[in-house]
């Protein structure tokens, strides 16, 4: 294990089999060595600055039926909501006022024209009302190239679309037959072609998922030249078909695997942005801090208006359900300071990986926005 870590720290070539060996390390001392090496590479490549991406969960209406997700279409126990345009814009401007630099608009997947047009209007308003300063990431699922282009032109410049797993057989076990793995991968390529910074990720610790699968997921991120990674442990939601199929999952091993995956991804991909996702905190009270210490550099504070939060539970035990934006802001500031890191306020915080790819140039020029080169 030491030999593999040495090669990775020096930026030398390694194989998926070696990444898998790291993912399988089980002794506490080995895990600590892995996190320490990943943290050293994080400091070298992206530095000790954490960027905030305030997330607005603008609707839980979803046309999809993923077997693991609490807001899947067939879950009749969910009270469905759609935030109003004014509410969404107000939340975005709150983030701008508090110098978050960047936000994420996320929702269940919808492809109808009313929804597409509404997002376009919201993007234009946020851009105009923040003087082009607020960075906007979308996380709105699979769409046509035309829709991705319209939203890009309206002001979004990053897009998150988790591939969920890169093993097509496992993908089929987790989704109804109408959800197609190849379509999802094609969407990532389209997003790149349109000009977005592209983020993807997987769930970690899924039933029937092996460490070999996870090593291949990292290979996929590398081969698709991904700029941002958002991935987290799979967490049960009892009102889903997948929860009926599995026994209780062990939160300790699930958290460990999530952290090891962050660390190995940091060691292999080096200069990308990696989120310490909320699912880590569903498994342990300081799970997100642990994520930062294992190599992540992004946190997504929840901006969703409190009354809606209880209805956006993709998995059980999601934190921050009763809190509001101000409480999450204070809480996360303390958590980041608690591990000796600083928050990159007022900056987009693009990954050095992306800046290298784009020749150090922001795609949205002439806006006067900070492109986040200060990492």
Which residues here bind ligand FES, judged by CB under 6 A? 302, 319-320, 323, 327-328, 331-332
Give least dist CB 288 to ligand FES, A.
8
58, containing H or E segment: strand 49-59
DSSP per-residue letters across 118-173: HHHHHHHHHHHHTTT-SEEEEE-----HHHHHHHHHTT--EEE---B-S-HHHHHH
Nearer of residues 127 and 284 to ligand FES, judged by Cβ? 284
Contact yes or no for 227/237 (Cβ under 8 A): no
Residues that bind ligand 5AD in the complex, under the rule CB under 6 A: 68-69, 162, 164, 203, 232, 234-235, 237, 279, 314-315
Nearer of residues 47 and 317 to ligand 5AD, judged by Cβ? 317
Q: Longest Cα pair distance anywhere in the chain, in angstroms? A: 55
Partner from ligand 5AD, ligand FES, none contacting 203, C-beta within 5 to 8 A by type: ligand 5AD
Residue 48: other Cβ atoms inside 10 A: 16
Give least dist CB 220 to ligand 5AD, A.
15
Nearer of residues 111 and 326 to ligand 5AD, judged by Cβ? 111
Contact yes or no for 123/149 (Cβ under 8 A): no
Nearer of residues 185 and 280 to ligand FES, judged by Cβ? 280
Partner from ligand FES, ligand 5AD, none contacting 331, C-beta within 5 to 8 A by type: ligand FES
Partner from ligand 5AD, ligand FES, none contacting 323, C-beta within 5 to 8 A by type: ligand FES
Give least dist CB 135 to ligand 5AD, A.
19
Partner from ligand FES, ligand 5AD, none contacting 327, C-beta within 5 to 8 A by type: ligand FES
Query: What three-state secondary structure class fits 31?
Result: helix
Q: How many CA atoms lie within 13 A of 220 on its CB side?
A: 21
Q: Phi, psi at residue 137, to the nearest 5°?
A: -105, 140
Give least dist CB 251 to ligand 5AD, A.
12
Which residue is it, tokens 């002439």?
A: 366
């Amino acid at each position: 294990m030491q030999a593999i870590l040495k090669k990775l720290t020096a930026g030398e070539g390694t194989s998926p089999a070696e990444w898998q060996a790291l993912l399988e390390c089980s002794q506490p001392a080995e895990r600590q060595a892995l996190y320490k090496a990943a943290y050293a590479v994080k400091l070298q490549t992206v530095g000790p600055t954490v960027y905030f991406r305030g997330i607005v969960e603008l609707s839980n209406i979803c046309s999809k039926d993923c077997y693991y997700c609490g807001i899947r279409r067939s879950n009749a126990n969910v009270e469905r909501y759609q935030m109003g345009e004014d509410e969404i814009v107000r939340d975005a401007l709150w983030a701008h006022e508090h110098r978050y630099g960047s936000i994420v608009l996320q929702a269940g997947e919808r492809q109808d024209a009313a929804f597409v047009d509404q997002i376009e209007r919201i993007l234009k308003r946020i851009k105009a009302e923040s003087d082009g300063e607020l960075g906007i990431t979308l996380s709105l699922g699979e769409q046509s190239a035309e829709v991705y282009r319209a939203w890009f032109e309206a002001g979004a410049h990053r897009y998150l679309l988790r591939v969920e797993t890169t093993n097509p057989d496992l993908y089929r076990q987790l989704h109804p037959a109408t959800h197609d793995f190849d379509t999802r991968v094609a969407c990532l390529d389209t997003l790149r072609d349109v000009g977005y910074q592209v983020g993807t990720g997987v769930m970690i610790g899924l039933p029937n998922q092996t460490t070999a699968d996870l090593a291949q997921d990292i290979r996929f991120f590398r081969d698709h030249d991904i700029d941002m990674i958002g991935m987290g442990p799979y967490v049960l939601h009892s009102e889903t078909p997948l929860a009926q199929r599995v026994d209780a999952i062990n939160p300790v091993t699930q958290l460990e695997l999530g952290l090891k995956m962050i660390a190995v991804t940091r060691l292999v991909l080096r200069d990308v942005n990696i989120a310490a996702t909320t699912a880590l905190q569903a498994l342990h009270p300081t799970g997100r801090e642990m994520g930062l210490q294992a190599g992540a550099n992004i946190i997504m504070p929840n901006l969703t208006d409190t009354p809606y939060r209880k209805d956006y539970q993709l998995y059980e035990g999601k934190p921050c359900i009763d809190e509001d934006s101000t409480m999450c802001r204070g809480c996360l500031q303390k958590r980041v300071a608690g591990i000796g890191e600083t928050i990159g306020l007022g900056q987009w915080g693009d990954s050095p990986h992306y800046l290298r790819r784009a020749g150090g140039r922001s795609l949205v020029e002439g806006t006067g926005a900070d492109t986040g080169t200060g990492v």
